[in-house]
Structure 1
Amino acid sequence: MDDQVGALREALNRNEVLTDVLAGAAELRLPGWYLTAGCVFQTVWNVVTGRPAAEGILDYDLFYFDASDLSWESEDAVVRAGRARFGDTAVEIRNEARVHLWYEEKFGVPCPPYGSTEAAIDSFPSTTCCIGVRAEPDGRWRVYAPHGLSDAFGLVVRPNPVLAPRHVYETKTARWREQWPDLTVLPWPE
């Protein structure tokens, strides 16, 4: 795993947008934050397949966890602070303590409240997506990857039927296959 984390850091450092977002996220000092999802594993896919590191990445997901205030206004204040720091970079900032308030309306299935940002990452529709990174004040990177990093480096997309419905997985993987045709996409379990 140590070798994989080193390879992950090397790959992510090739994406200048991602490293700027990591630095900016550290400046915001959000509780329990991670840069996660597509910007992480898609940067790896780009590096592995010889593409420009930021190619095809739609946005940069910055998750944090603050259960002390679940109001939209509180999250919006953080989003506005992020906009001031990141400018035109597409950074999606979300308080994962609030997800249960809107998830069912958006995805059609209820979501129990998360207890941490890590719990939110655990529920992504693909295990390959379940990677989060953050820069610690001492310069070290913290990596959260409950399913490891092998699938990301191996271009394998594996379903994670914990929460997200099948159609979410299939919609995402259809787009990913167009952008990264070398992917091996495993089917949703019956």
Structure 2
Amino acid sequence: MPRRKQVPDADVLDAALDVLHARGPQALTFAALAEASGLAPATLVQRFGGKAELLHRVLMHAWDRLERRTAQLGAAAAPGPEGAVAFLVGLSEQYGGIDSYADALLVLREDLLDPESRRRGRDWKGTLARVLDGCLDGPPGSGAVLATYWQGTLLWWSFDPAVPVTEHVRRELTGFVTDVLQRARGGVPSRAEPGSPG
């Protein structure tokens, strides 16, 4: 009789998230997860119920990981625009290269279809805005604006990933906070980025 493996749920959910990222939601079957985790399909069904419940648990697990990372980086964020940029660069590290970012969009699709994931996304936006507002000495709402700009920066990078995502995010957000936030305070940017208007 084979020895039973004691694998924590968190490890199984990590393996399931890897399957989801790499191959999409249709590929997240108990057979695929059994292969990835080393547990029997029947054991996985006992633990997680049906496929819909498994997918939901995986999404919640991904949110748990993202919220822990956000809290860790937020607690270490330095005051000032540089601290705000460093915080978002740190969050961008999770995407790695273009393949990893594209795989993450498969998970985003599932998030948008799951009401609890959408709620957690709204809450996360509020967390980002609070951390960024704490860093920035800008007008009210600056943190939410910077968070929104960051998401757009990631998307535009994905169409032309010529440099690492963290390098792109740092350059684009530094230019944004230098230019836009100084203008919002009634000042003039200290210098224009090469190729930028102004």
TM-score by length of 1: 0.24
The structure carrying a bigger strand percent of its residues is: 1
Larger radius of gyration: 2
TM-score by length of 2: 0.24
